[in-house]
């Protein structure tokens, strides 16, 4: 029964998340918001919405291991799996769309989150710091887009063809319906998934942290994985890197920032001693490619996937 709850909740989450992203993207573009800002905000937040609802639900249910493990595990999976698989299909170009600046923001967010984690349980003031950093990042992105337009330069990210879910002919009623269905389905799916995951952890004697780091994390990373694989098949694999960077920043700063207000959230010892450092190491694994503007090759994609398989085996052993 717990497995059925978990699987049903995951399916509802994925469908609702995709519906929300499609509706929100078309709504934002109809309101005249630049595509780059939509990519970094609406799309990133939309694909991270399942993690947000799970984190809040887990915090309220007194299961911080699932809340923290979901975000940390999702970020690790995004780098090793969500980037690894499309890289094997088609090499990923890391030189487009101010990648280095966004990537530096992501690394900074990872370091700050790890530092705050060692200061004790996450409280509301931790959330204030994380959300302030997220606001600073979004403000910089908005200013950068404005400078591009003011100087008459073409923004390389400003291309709706690279944005999933864009439908120029989508009527207003359909846009509103998509947003509403997504907002209704997300909390319902999160409720089922968290209840099922807690039950599975108890049934099999596995810690909630491991469930959060594996089953829940991979499940909530499926929207990003589906997007990047389809982009790679269309020979647009470079889109994957921007999606992963944006999603990881939202996970650490936005999701954990908001979830901290429902705390306190104690960080499990095993996550402090191992999983946070795996997340940081995974993020650092693509430093040479980003800062030297080298393609993430098929070979390196296979290496990333192998590292994730080893990490999962260690968790489950």
232 vs 148: which has the higher pLDDT: 232
Tokens matching residue 99: 């990648």
Give pLDDT tens digits for 28-87: 677 766 555 665 666 666 667 777 888 888 888 888 888 888 899 889 999 998 888 888
Band of pLDDT at residue 26, cut at 50, 70 and 90? confident
pLDDT computed for residue 310 by the predictor: 94
Q: Which domain holds residue 33?
A: 2-316
Give pLDDT tens digits for 104-124: 889 999 999 999 999 878 899
Residue 87: count other Cβ atoms within 10 Å of its Cβ: 28
Residue 294: count other Cβ atoms within 10 Å of its Cβ: 16
- Phi/psi for 156 (5° steps) reads -65, -15
Q: Which residues contact 143 (CB under 8 A, 6 or more apart)?
A: none
Q: CATH number of the domain that 220 lies in?
A: 1.20.1420.30
- Under 8 Å between Cβ of 214 and 273: no
Band of pLDDT at residue 316, cut at 50, 70 and 90? confident
Give pLDDT tens digits for 142-157: 776 666 556 655 444 4
Cα separations in angstroms, 63 against 77, 137, 235? 21, 30, 41
Q: Which residues contact 48 (CB under 8 A, 6 or more apart)?
A: 247, 250, 251, 254, 255
pLDDT computed for residue 129 by the predictor: 95
Give pLDDT tens digits for 251-270: 899 999 998 998 788 998 88
- The three-state DSSP-derived secondary structure of 204-273 is HCCCHHHHHHHHHHHHHHHHHHHHHHHHHHCCCCHHHHHHHHHHHHHHHHHHHHHHHHHCCECCCHHHHH
| Short-list 168, 182, 295, CA closest to 237 | 295
- Please give the tally of structural domains in the chain: 1
**Looking at 155-159, 186-190, 284-288, which range is the least confident one?**
155-159
pTM for the whole thing?
Answer: 0.78
pLDDT computed for residue 156 by the predictor: 46
CA dist 268 and 263 (Å) reads 14
Rg of the chain (C-alpha set): 18
Taking residues 179-189, report their average pLDDT: 79
236 vs 208: which has the higher pLDDT: 208
Cα separations in angstroms, 16 against 170, 182, 190? 18, 4, 10
């Amino acid at each position: 029964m717990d497995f059925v709850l978990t699987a049903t909740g995951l399916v509802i989450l994925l469908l609702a998340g995709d519906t929300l992203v499609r509706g929100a993207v078309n709504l934002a573009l109809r309101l005249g918001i630049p595509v780059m800002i939509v990519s970094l905000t609406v799309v990133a937040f939309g694909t991270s919405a399942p993690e947000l609802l799970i984190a809040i639900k887990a915090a309220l249910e007194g299961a911080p291991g699932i809340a923290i493990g979901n975000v940390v595990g999702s970020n690790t999976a995004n780098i090793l799996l969500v980037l690894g698989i499309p890289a094997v299909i088609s090499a990923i170009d890391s030189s487009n769309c101010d990648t280095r600046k966004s990537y530096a923001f992501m690394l900074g967010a990872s370091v700050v989150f790890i530092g705050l984690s060692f200061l004790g349980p996450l409280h509301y003031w931790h959330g204030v710091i994380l959300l302030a950093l997220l606001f600073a990042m979004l403000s910089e992105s908005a200013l950068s887009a404005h400078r591009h337009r003011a100087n008459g330069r073409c923004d390389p990210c400003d291309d709706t063809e690279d944005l999933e879910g864009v439908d120029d002919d989508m009527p207003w009623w359909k846009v509103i319906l998509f947003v509403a269905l997504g907002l209704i389905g997300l909390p319902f799916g999160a409720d089922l998934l968290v209840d099922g995951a807690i039950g599975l952890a108890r049934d099999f004697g596995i810690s909630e942290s491991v469930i959060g780091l594996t089953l829940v994390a991979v499940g909530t990373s499926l929207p990003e994985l589906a997007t990047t694989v389809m982009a790679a098949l269309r020979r647009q694999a470079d889109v994957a890197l921007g999606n992963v960077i944006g999603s990881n920043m939202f996970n650490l700063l936005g999701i954990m920032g908001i979830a901290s207000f429902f705390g306190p959230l104690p960080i499990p010892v095993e996550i402090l001693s191992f999983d946070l450092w795996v997340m940081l190491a995974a993020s650092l694994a693509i430093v040479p490619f980003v800062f030297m503007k080298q393609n993430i090759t098929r070979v390196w994609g296979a290496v990333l996937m192998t590292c994730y398989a080893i990490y999962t085996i260690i968790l489950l052993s």
